[in-house]
Amino acid sequence: MLFASKEFLFFFLPLALLAFHVARHISNGKIAVNILIIFSLIYYSWWEIEFLFLLLLSVSLNYLFLRLILLNSSKLILAVGLLFNLGLLAYFKYRNFLIENIELLFIGSSHSFEKFSAIIIPLGISFYTFQQIAMLIDARDGTIKTLPPFLNFVQFVTFFPQLIAGPIVLFKEVREQIEALQKNQFDGLNVFGPGLAIFSFGLFKKVCLADTIAPFADLAFNSHQIISTLEAWAGSVAYSLQLYFDFSGYSDMAVGLGLMFGVRLPFNFDTPFRARNMTNFWKSWHITMTRFFMLYVYSPIALRLGRFAQFNLKNIFLIFFLTVLTPTIFTFLLSGLWHGAGWTFVMFGCVNGLALVLNNGWRMLKMPKLPFLISWSLTMLSVLISFVYFRSESIEAAHNFITAMFSIEHFFFPNWLELYAEKIGVPWKSLPVLSGGSYSVKFLIILAILSVLSVRMPNLSKCYEKLKPSWTLASAIAFMLIMSVGFLDRPKVFLYFQF
């Protein structure tokens, strides 16, 4: 049951809102929070009920670890807790990948993959595992000082708006909010109103923008033929926009839903395509994930290596290698793997890591600041290349795609421009992604509109306090809701191209 589905919009959400707010009014906040937990568990079990037990096992054991850590601040318990969480993730998400690669390394071929491939990855396991890992580390570091009641902890992990795709929330961010909700302290329509606005905005981004460009991007990446330069560029930009509007739309919906239930979740995107360097890009793309990796992976490594370098090294390049390159690449390789168990994701992390290292190296060497257009173009180029790896089915497919982007040999005009192509002496052929004139014009118009929107759209999740109950906001919400509902059921693939 995705947020952008009829069963969620017309059945689950109204029912959950009604039950929660009625309980708040006629009973008390505690009952309302408990009702919310029940709805979150129903929401999670909608896909596969057996994974609900895994979620509950993970929550229960992590609560036990938390309790023990808070009792004696034991490093050992933290280690056991981390091992349990990472083990869970490794078993369910990375087992096939690990076995396949170990076999490939030692035997030369993999046979176990098919045997294990039937195992489905439990929904949201990366998100709820990371939230709990962060909580255990925070408890050991003393950021979390007291043990919350069990149900508050369950509410934190299972809160359905953020359960399956983030944002990755830290316990300290929501602890007081959950306690306030239990005391029935809810800012009523002052947060519900902006919540609805942000939710509508996110729904619109997902249904009307991301799903509109998705079939074009799919065509480019699913094409069996070697595509041309124009198609590769159009396809990679289309996919980047699809990914942005899809994920940021989903994150906005989560923030909006959170507010409708009285919980302020952190925002996850901040117009990343405006970034003029890779550091800024990662500060505005999947912000809560970047924060997790910075806080719990990068910083501890960089700190330790930095201390070592400070006392033991003099060579500037060695210091750079140890304090910047090593922690950055390691962090981004892990972040790539977090996105998925595959080499394409590792490469996604690698490209981003290298781009960040270059970015930091440039700054450390005190090189001149590049003009905006150049620095922005270089940043977007790195992002586009990393997204090609992210979207491609294999490393080979990604390399073919990137080759098509940069190779003059693959430059062809589409056949419907053959007259112009022959006039100016450019080769032409039938291009699967830009196959028809009117279709290609439509594609390019959508691409242009979405490109502008991706840098010009306001970030409501960031500044919802400023939203006023005006006629403009009412019209905007009404328009976005109506458009989203209207486009909810449209086919996600181009029927035109099946024949």
Partner 1 sequence: MKDGWRKFFLFKLPVTLAAILILIEALAFALEEVRPNRHDLDRLAIVADYPSEAIHSKIIVFGDSVTQDVLKTFKIGVEGQVTNLTTNKASGIIGSYLLLSRYLQNQPTPKTVVFAATPEFFAFSPDGDVAELYLRSVFHHEDEKEYIDGYLGEQRSAPSMSLMHLEGRIGTKIISVLSPTPVKFPMGQRVPDTTSLAADANVQAHVLDDILKRAERPIVIPEKNSNVLSEICTLAKKHKFNIHIVFAPVPISLFDAWKKNGIFASFLTQLRYIFKQGCQDVAVSLETTLTVVPDYMMRDADHLIRHTGTSFFANRLNEFVAKLANSY
Binding region for partner 1 (CB under 8 A): 188-190, 192-193, 224-225, 415, 429-430, 438, 442, 468-471, 473-475, 477-479, 481-483, 485-487, 489-491, 495-496, 498-499
Cβ 365 to partner 1, closest distance in Å?
47
Complex with partner 1: residue 48 or 422, whichever CB lies closer: 422
Complex with partner 1: residue 315 or 475, whichever CB lies closer: 475
Q: Which of 224, 339, 399, 410 is catalytic?
A: 339
339: annotated active-site residue:
yes
Residue 216 corresponds to which tokens in the numbers above? 């074009």
Cβ 398 to partner 1, closest distance in Å?
17
Cβ 463 to partner 1, closest distance in Å?
16
Complex with partner 1: residue 258 or 336, whichever CB lies closer: 258
Q: CA 312 to CA 301: how far, in whole Å? A: 16
* Secondary structure, 3-state, 103-118: HHHHCCCCCHHHHHCC
Q: CA 250 to CA 106: how far, in whole Å? A: 41
Closest CA to 2 of 34, 50, 46, 42: 46
Cβ 182 to partner 1, closest distance in Å?
22
Q: CA 277 to CA 483: how far, in whole Å? A: 35
* Secondary structure, 3-state, 150-163: HHHHHHHHHCHHHH
Closest CA to 167 of 47, 265, 291, 259: 265
DSSP-assigned letters across all residues of 403-428: HHHH-GGG--EEGGGHHHHHHHT--E
Residue 218 corresponds to which tokens in the numbers above? 């799919």
Complex with partner 1: residue 75 or 442, whichever CB lies closer: 442
Q: Determine how β-strand 413-414 pairs with β-strand 428-429.
A: parallel
Complex with partner 1: residue 120 or 441, whichever CB lies closer: 441
Cβ 482 to partner 1, closest distance in Å?
5
Residue 356 CA: distances (Å) to CA of 309, 328, 329, 330, 376:
20, 7, 9, 12, 14
Where in the sequence numbering do the catalytic residues fall?
339
